[in-house]
Amino acid sequence: MTLIDVRADLKYEVRIATVFLFQIAAARTDHQQVIWEQLTMEPNLSVETYQVGLEGNQLHRILVQPCELQVSYQGNVELAPEIHRSAFVGESNASEMPAEVLTYLNPSRYCESDLLARFSFEEFGQMPRGFSRVQAICDWVSEHLDYTSGSTNSSTTAADVLLQRTGVCRDYAHLAITLCRGVGIPARYVAGYAVGLQPPDFHGFMEAFLGGQWYLFDPTKMVPVSGLVRIGVGRDAADVSFATLTGDALLIEKTVWANDSDNAGPPASAGGEPPAVSLA
């Protein structure tokens, strides 16, 4: 069990009446409990809160008149991940996957698994099935990409990244997700907070569906998966933007922060192999 404090502060210059849709609150799942949270707006505004889909994504919607808007989210989150020995985590067969999981095999905006299926199959198709195959995909992504801020933009896809070989966390996740789908492993994008991320920011990572449940992976290898707090999941980053705007507003400040409040440190690894961690 780990306790993590998270915080995001956003400041916008709102130029015309604008609808904001925020996805910055920690999700509530069986393994991730929100002990305490607070969303404050300056000026004070009425906030609608939604839960969308089956995965616990929380959205906040506000309508803002022209002003300087300050949004702060703070939370204290308890993670109680299931941790398994990765060597025992196999792949699920297409004939057994729950129907709501199947959608995560489909190609999506930034994860063109149809285009990359042959590539994926060629590189990873002959490997032993199981957790280690997803690990191999993440290793490949980590080895073949250079992490370069500013090297990609909001229209960069997994296929682009596979060719240009640079990107940021979101691109690493997109490529790994796409390669998983390419060999028949359902995979999805997770937006979240990450303890120890340098420089601090929202983080993008992924989950793969193995042995009947979703396991966490971070192809950037920048932080341990045990310090990842989930905000939302989706097919790719298109589904979990931290803010979606209808109107006209300029982001002028963003501070994001996550801290291991009880300093528990990462869970001990079982037997040398990386642990298989599930928060879903």
- Name the residues that contact its own copies, by CB under 8 A: 19, 21, 50-53, 59, 61, 63, 93-95, 99-100, 102-103, 105-109, 111-112, 114-116, 118-119, 122, 144, 154-155, 159, 162-166, 184, 235, 238-239, 244, 246
Give the nearer residue to its own copies in terms of CB position, either 101 or 270: 101
Give the nearer residue to its own copies in terms of CB position, either 219 or 227: 219
Question: To the nearest whole angstrom, how small is the minimum distance from the Cβ of residue 51 to its own copies?
Answer: 8
Give the nearer residue to its own copies in terms of CB position, either 55 or 218: 55
Question: To the nearest whole angstrom, how small is the minimum distance from the Cβ of residue 93 to its own copies?
Answer: 7
Question: To the nearest whole angstrom, how small is the minimum distance from the Cβ of residue 198 to its own copies?
Answer: 24
Give the nearer residue to its own copies in terms of CB position, either 162 or 223: 162
Question: To the nearest whole angstrom, how small is the minimum distance from the Cβ of residue 32 to its own copies?
Answer: 20
Question: To the nearest whole angstrom, how small is the minimum distance from the Cβ of residue 58 to its own copies?
Answer: 10
Give the nearer residue to its own copies in terms of CB position, either 94 or 250: 94
Three-state secondary structure readout of the chain: CEEEEEEEEEEEEECCCEEEEECCCCCCECCEEEEEEEEEEECCCCCEEEEECCCCEEEEEEEECCEEEEEEEEEEEEECCEEEEHHHCCECCCCCCCHHHHHHHCCECCECHHHHHHHHHHHHCCCCCCHHHHHHHHHHHHHHCEECCCCCCCCCCHHHHHHHCEECHHHHHHHHHHHHHHCCCCEEEEEEEECCCCCCCCEEEEEEEECCEEEEECCCCCCCHHHEEEEEEECCHHHCCCEEEECCEEEEEEEEEEEECCCCCCCCCCCCCCEEEECC
Give the nearer residue to its own copies in terms of CB position, either 234 or 275: 234
Question: To the nearest whole angstrom, how small is the minimum distance from the Cβ of residue 172 to its own copies?
Answer: 15
